[in-house]
Amino acid sequence: MRGSVQRVVFALLAAACLGTPSTLLAQRSDVLQRCTEIGATGNPEAGRRCNLFVQTLDILQPPLGMAVSGGNPVPGTASTLGMRLGSVPRISVGGRITLTGVDFPRVVDLDRGGETGVTLAGLNVDAAVGLIQGASPLPTLGGVGSVDLLASFGMLPLSSGAGFRSGSRFTWAVGLRGGVFRESFTVPGVSLSAVYRRLARATLGDPDLVDTDGFLDLNVSNLSLRAAASKRILGLGLTAGAGYDIYSSSGRFGFVNPGTGGDAEYRVSYSGFRNNRTSLFANLSYTLLILHLVAELGWQQGTDLISAPLPANAQVSTGSRVFGGLAARLSI
């Protein structure tokens, strides 16, 4: 079984290598090239509006992913679970809410310009199961090479007031957490994790271009890599960590032609649109027997302004963002 787990870990790490900066740039350039072609049909403003959709996709993708993943994959601890008795694994189950905000260009009402702000609130149920106990090279040093199986599912409600089609998007995730050290009296818990997550398709605006003059839809897949350390003193615990997320989306966007040249409307499909983002997070937890109450605060890297012309009335915010959350977890 240990060999099978190691093969899965290597596969997840290999997938992370696909998100190199040169690959990300090439995929973004493919969509921007389509916008250049639209602008060359006799209406440069249509090309600029197309570029604005690419910028909006670039802005929206990471916070949608962060709202459903959060920072720490197991809130309140970086220590792997291990075994309770013999080969009986320990289990952790909990619920959490993660909040983050984002401002994005008003692409559903292009003539007004400006931005729309929205707070995203992801709701998830998380579970972890100890798979491999790990080695104990010293009396107070254990969990070396231990492995936990991670799983999660939840919902991301989207606000119709911000232009999204009403409803909640389903999300699920599966991954592994490997122990460097398990927390003990002398050492903190230290672990590395890799989690793959999918968020169902979200739609901004009216795809029929009747109620709005633009729309954007996308799904989000996310490979979350995390490194974290934790230590508990009496009932209080502190966890700190760093993350690297690789986001990928496919979908389409469209808009009504703002001028007279070219087609009456434009629709652009895309796939494999990728972003990579770094993040930092900290957890403060309180433990009462098997119950853990956790508060999380984190930071996610912002995006860049694309190197293509945008409409004159466009407003674009590309800065970093803060996320936070609350969780309750049972560990047995």
pLDDT attached to residue 161: 87
State which H helix or E strand residue 229 sits in. Answer: strand 214-233
pTM of the model: 0.89
**110: pLDDT confidence band, cut at 50, 70 and 90?**
confident
**82: pLDDT confidence band, cut at 50, 70 and 90?**
confident
Considering only residues 189 and 7, tell me which one the structure prediction assigns the higher pLDDT. 189
pLDDT attached to residue 284: 98
Mean pLDDT across 261-290: 93
pLDDT attached to residue 235: 85
pLDDT attached to residue 21: 39
Q: Is the per-residue pLDDT at 187 higher than 90?
A: yes
Are the C-beta atoms of residues 277 and 62 closer than 8 Å to each other?
A: yes
Mean pLDDT across 51-78: 96
**14: pLDDT confidence band, cut at 50, 70 and 90?**
very low
pLDDT attached to residue 86: 75
286: closest CA among 228, 324, 232?
232
Looking at every residue in the chain, the average pLDDT score rounds to 89
Domains, in order of start, for the chain: 2-331 (2.40.128)
Mean pLDDT across 96-119: 92
The tokens describing 77, both together, are 């601890």
State which H helix or E strand residue 182 sits in. Answer: none
pLDDT attached to residue 8: 45
pLDDT attached to residue 68: 97
The tokens describing 258, both together, are 């703002």
Q: Is the per-residue pLDDT at 210 higher than 50?
A: yes
pLDDT attached to residue 10: 43
pLDDT attached to residue 29: 82
pLDDT attached to residue 209: 94
pLDDT attached to residue 46: 93
Mean pLDDT across 137-164: 93
Question: What count of Cα atoms within 13 Å lies in the side-chain half-sphere of residue 308?
Answer: 25
Considering only residues 237 and 6, tell me which one the structure prediction assigns the higher pLDDT. 237
What does DSSP assign to residue 90? P
Q: How far apart are CA 173 and CA 185, in angstroms?
A: 32
Q: How far is CA 166 from CA 171, 219, 255, in A?
A: 16, 15, 20
pLDDT attached to residue 16: 42
For the four alpha carbons of 72, 77, 83 and 89, in that order, the dihedral sign comes to negative
Mean pLDDT across 141-165: 94
Q: Is the per-residue pLDDT at 30 higher than 80?
A: yes
What does DSSP assign to residue 246? E
Q: What are 294-315's pLDDT values in tens digits?
A: 999 999 999 989 989 999 989 9
* Range with the poorest average pLDDT among 21-30, 39-48, 187-196, 267-276: 21-30
pLDDT attached to residue 126: 98
